[in-house]
Structure 1
């Protein structure tokens, strides 16, 4: 390959599954004319823009999985060098693709009570198999961010928690599970996005911490991963002035942070991948097409993700980078492709999923993380109240009666005590996690009127919107709304 072709191997622009034929042909043009190295798949332009437009959820579109397989086959068929196919699937293919297996969020797995590392590795392995069977080589996951800021607008449920050592162990376990399945993975978002208050899709988060503070917390999972042989790290769009001479430079384009800190000081010798280069934290500062791509390359990124200016980026890097720099990056990418079996691509048939095995895993996980986080559950007393018709039940934010309500079989009329089930509509914090203020006030009033047990299905960070939890006689945190979780929560109440 010539120098330009080698540089093109660094590029992994976005490919949207639901798109126009014209846009599919634009991707084909990038493959044929620019000879890009890979593609990063997203659901649709609508869902990719959700962060920018402050929408809470993405639209539901039919046939996403079948379309993905069709597009992978279509694009691989015309690529001279097989493409490295990646996806950002932190809780499985379901993060981007409907009707595929969804696994618990990192925050739920962070609450596992027994053998957490073993179970997280198993989840990583199962997710990895789903992806490998779908023609995907690289999952841009897991998050190694330590979520110490409960008001963080962008990490939250994506983190294994607020304890740096625990996050380090569990993110490595997830990484190793995916590696065991034969796909690549990466720790993200270096140097740590957990203690930020700005969403980097919208603006530049500033982390005002000293190097010593970062070494005691944010950098712990990354150093742990490096020490245990992690081969890929994604750098985030956040500024750490203490490490860049007081300048508010995004880490993703900072040579001091990527080459100086990550590679030279922390000893990382693997591949560095940029966070999406269309994100406003960086994109809005580089109006000239291709300059952002050059800044990311010269800072030390090997793979440029979601570049909107591929042709111009290749051209500018070609003019500014030395042949030695290009060769070094190119060789790393080729070695990765070989290791992940990219060169062995064969057209894929649409695979089927082991839904029964998936459900069994979900139940085993739920039995491990569903927890009574305050108070006590006295099952005998509750059974007595049911027999005398004095235990009531109310659930909120459901469109039809839940499996949980069917398992409990309770009436929602006058009673001495009540169970209040909250099914949190969104895992993202926008608009009180999708809970309207009127209904939240109604829940608080109800809880104050008589002894109540709260069962919270969803992101535990949403609990803060339910007022003082001491008002409740007991609180069960179920973390997810899966049917298997609802069954386990019902069994927990009645100790069955």
Structure 2
């Protein structure tokens, strides 16, 4: 196929497409496809949730039938594109990160807690996720995170990382990558050079990582080098400044020639595809007054695919006019070869898939059996039964949904919590993000900590383990069981551990 220079440049663009949007905005995407001939699209749930992982939100937005709408849009957009589009999604824990009523897998921090055959299990998670995405007509999952989460107060990585152990993060991020690619879809390690030890959310501002090259080589860069040495074909560069790598200047890695071309491609030997993190994020979006200049800077720094550009037309025009022919050709060849490898060119009409929920649940049980555990204190099951039989055991639940069935599922006889000698305390952590103490009400926290001081309490923690620091000294509890997630299979596993 003979393409002109503008068409070649356009293949490097993958702007955002929103599943829940207005017809006017759907038509604007169609214009980008037919007039600008963009290379791909990156799907997000809605404009409300684009800059963050999908959660229940306060906005009133009609979000029914998300999966059906996604499939409909993929077919609609593919049908009008001269060159089939590379369809991407950011689904770190599966389609469910962006699409309701689809299989959700454990967060990376949960998978990091697996005790046996963890690499094999994480690879299987990646494979299953990838197969579900492939069925939906998605070619590329912008995951997994290879960030080492050494800052427990990190506002943007946290539960998205496999943990704070460099070797473990290296192995598990590569295992996830391997599973996804085995399913026949693309994957990428992110957020180079490592977003784990930052205190600013790059969606909102520019994080600065003040570490020496020696410190970076001992920690942040290790998982990426591990992947590069094993043939990883795509890496996403994050919006964070690392002054040690840019002569003391606070330049975002995503637009730094020194970091992408000098360090990643040069010193570390990466010759695959470099994709930018979303270019609409506040860490970079407001740095340039002229539309298209950010896209040019990101491209000339060494990015091959520009994700979530807000200025596609201007970006294409500026790169066409100012980037060298060699830069354009190198990036285009990589993108084209990726499309061929992932079967993008074999255009097909996608049907709404029917997921095997039974198999999914069985797999979730297998995983939960390995990661749900007593992480503090000692659990004496016979003692719990004695307390129950002698009318001394009470139950309190915090942040659970109304009419929670969890209490009913427990094979214990409970007395009024005020009269109880010992308490089972179930905490369903409201949010996996650290903002406002993971969404935990301060008064409720005070109540839980007071109960642990005055009585024998067993804490059942369903949620991000990083939230445990707010529950006082763990030694104050008889035992702490960490479930990591709020899945039904996790609740069943906690019941098994208790009884």
TM-score normalised according to structure 1 size: 0.97
> Cα deviation per residue 1:322-345 (whole Å; 9 max; x = unaligned)?
212211111110100000000012
Shift of 1:167: 0.1
Please tell me whether residue 463 in structure 1 is matched to residue 475 in structure 2: no
Is this contact kept in 2: 1:250–1:282, CA < 8 A? yes
Instruction: Pick one of 191, 214, 220 that aligns with 1:189.
Output: 191
Q: Per the alignment, in what secondary structure is the counterpart of residue 193 of structure 1?
A: coil
Partner residue in 1 for 2:481: 476
TM-score when normalising by structure 2: 0.97
Partner of 2:492: 487
Classify 1:20/1:422 alpha carbon distance in 2 versus 1 (closer, same or farther; 3 Å).
same
Contact 1:13 1:307 in 2 (8 A): yes
Q: 1:336 to 1:305 in 2, by over 3 A?
A: same
Cα-to-partner distance string for 1:401-442 (whole Å, 9 max, x where unaligned): 434322214425122211111000111111111111111111
> Of the candidates 192, 215, 218, which is equivalent to residue 216 of structure 1?
218
Give the count of matched residue pairs.
Answer: 492
Structure 1 residue 291 corresponds to structure 2 residue 293:
yes
Report SS of the residue matched to 1:6. Answer: helix
1:344 is paired with a residue whose SS is coil
- What residue number does 1:7 align with? 9
Q: 1:235 deviation in Å? A: 0.1
- The runs of 5 or more residues in structure 2 that have no matched partner are none
Give, in whole Å, the separation in 1 of the partners of 2:438 and 2:136.
Answer: 32
1-structure distance, mates of 2:323, 2:19:
33
Distance 1:58 1:450 in 2: 43
The 1:199–1:128 alpha-carbon spacing in structure 2 relative to 1, beyond 3 Å, is same
- Give runs of aligned pairs for residues 364-379 of structure 1, distance below 5 A: 364-379=366-381
TM-align CA RMSD: 1.4
SS at match of 1:121: helix
In structure 2, the residue corresponding to 1:343 is in which secondary structure? coil
1:268 equivalent in structure 2: 270
Q: CA deviation at 1:128?
A: 0.3
Contact 2:391 2:415 in 1 (8 A): no
Number of the residue aligned with 2:425:
420
Query: Would the aligned equivalents of 1:50 and 1:56 in 2 still touch at CA under 8 Å?
Result: no
Contact 1:164 1:221 in 2 (8 A): yes
Contact 2:391 2:420 in 1 (8 A): yes
Mapping of residues 165-184 of structure 1, within 5 Å: 165-184=167-186
- 1:177-205 C-alpha deviation (Å, 9 max, x unpaired): 00000000000000000000000001000
- Of the three residues 347, 353, 356, the one matched with 2:355 is 353
1:229-244 matches, within 5 Å, as 229-244=231-246
Structure 1 segments unaligned to the other structure (5+ residues): none
- Distance, in Å, in 2 between the alignment partners of 1:484 and 1:68 is 28
The 5 A counterparts of 1:302-313 are 302-313=304-315
1:57 and 1:197, CA in 2 relative to 1: closer, same or farther beyond 3 A? farther
Bigger Cα displacement from structure 2, 40-49 vs 394-403: 394-403
**1:121, 1:308 → 2: CA distance?**
34
Measure the CA separation in 2 of the matches of 1:415 and 1:46: 45
The residue that corresponds to 1:343 in the other structure is 345
| Distance change (3 Å), C-alpha of 1:32 and 1:98 | same
Go from structure 1 to structure 2 and tell me whether the alpha carbon gap of 1:383 and 1:143 turns closer, same or farther (over 3 Å shift). same
Candidates 95, 98, 101, aligned match of 1:96: 98
User: Aligned residue for 1:134?
Assistant: 136
**3-state SS, counterpart of residue 342 of structure 1:** coil
Alpha-carbon distance in structure 2 between the residues aligned to 1:107 and 1:41: 24
